[in-house]
Amino acid sequence: DIQMTQSPSSLSASVGDRVTITCRASQSISSYLNWYQQKPGKAPKLLIYAASSLQSGVPSRFSGSGSGTDFTLTISSLQPEDFATYYCQQSYSTPVTFGQGTRLEIK
Amino acid sequence: QVQLVESGGGLVKPGGSLRLSCAASGFTFSDYYMSWIRQAPGKGLEWVSYISSSGSTIYYADSVKGRFTISRDNAKNSLYLQMNSLRAEDTAVYYCARETGAVTPFDYWGQGTLVTVSS
């Protein structure tokens, strides 16, 4: 199975900050990397697919980059509604696997 | 609009069985692959099982293989997960989620249904 490792596991930031979350795969997954946002008590929501494509309806302050084994999710200017947990997921091979999550908290 | 609504969760004793359902609407269900994904309390996301649009291809996580069975009824726009020999470690919120293909993301998720395995 492909292991997905996110860093950091938690992060404190302020409204307006630029934030970057990193995801590393245990082997190359090309660009088959997706990012999700989850708020407490809610289902995950797809933000970015294929490493850098913005899902319809997602604000442009969210962006993704990377290929192979190293990927990043960047939020250019944090808004109050962005405080949540973020997960990366590889869809390169079965079983698909998720990172352990990054909890983004208000400083 | 796309809607996925899970049902069937609840409290069950270890060794017991439960059948989850996911009712789909707002899209052509038979065109899409579907998965079950679970989240133990306070933990991360774990993919459980996947079924192709026709039902001809099925995969399971090793943790549930031989105990869980995924199925779908395209005429009823419904996805199912039959869970047998349940263990305490199966306690989780179970989500159904839609995929457009075999290597695509989960673009829509249901709200989840809680399964608690406890004596």
Q: What is the pLDDT of residues A16-37, one digit of tens each?
A: 999 999 999 999 999 999 999 9
Q: Letter for the amino acid at B38?
A: R
* Alpha carbon of B14: minimum distance to chain A alpha carbons (Å): 25
Distance CA A89, CA A21 (A): 13
- A-chain CB neighbours of B109 within 8 Å are 43-45
Cα A96 to its chain centre, rounded Å, is 15
**Are B103 and A92 within 8 A, CB to CB?**
yes
Residue B4 has a pLDDT of 98
CA neighbor of B72 nearest in space, from B98, B51, B93: B51
* Alpha carbon of A25: minimum distance to chain B alpha carbons (Å): 16
Hunting for tokens 């409204």 — which residue is that? A15
- B-chain CB neighbours of A31 within 8 Å are none
The answer, yes or no, to whether residue B85 has pLDDT greater than 90, is yes
- The residue of chain B nearest to residue A85, with distances taken between CA atoms, is B44
Average pLDDT over residues B72-101: 97
Residues 30-49 of B with CB under 8 A from A: 35, 44-47
Residues 73-92 of A with CB under 8 A from B: 87, 89, 91-92
More confident residue, A2 or B102: A2
Residue A28 has a pLDDT of 98
- CB-nearest to A101 from B44, B59, B103 is B44
φ and ψ at A76, to 5 degrees? -75, -35
Percent of chain B with pLDDT over 90: 96
> Interior CA angle at B42 toward B110 and A90, to 5°?
60
Average pLDDT over residues A84-101: 97
**Contact present, A106 and A14 (Cβ < 8 Å):** yes
Question: Which residues on neighbouring strands pair with residue B73, listed in sequence order?
Answer: B78
**Contact present, B67 and A6 (Cβ < 8 Å):** no
Distance CA B93, CA A92 (A): 25
- The residue of chain A nearest to residue B103, with distances taken between CA atoms, is A91
Percent of chain B with pLDDT over 70: 100
Tell me the residue ranges of DSSP E strands in B10-89.
10-12, 18-25, 33-39, 45-51, 58-60, 68-73, 78-83
Residue A84 has a pLDDT of 97
Average pLDDT over residues A77-83: 95
User: Is the CB of residue A99 less than 8 Å away from at least one CB of chain B?
Assistant: yes
Q: Kindly state the DSSP code that residue A41 receives in the 8-state scheme.
A: T
Distance CA B103, CA B3 (A): 22
A103 CB contacts (<8 Å, ≥6 apart)?
A9, A10, A11, A85
Hunting for tokens 């695509």 — which residue is that? B104
Q: How does pLDDT run across B27-43, given as a tens digit for each residue? A: 999 999 999 999 999 99
Q: Kindly state the DSSP code that residue A97 receives in the 8-state scheme.
A: E
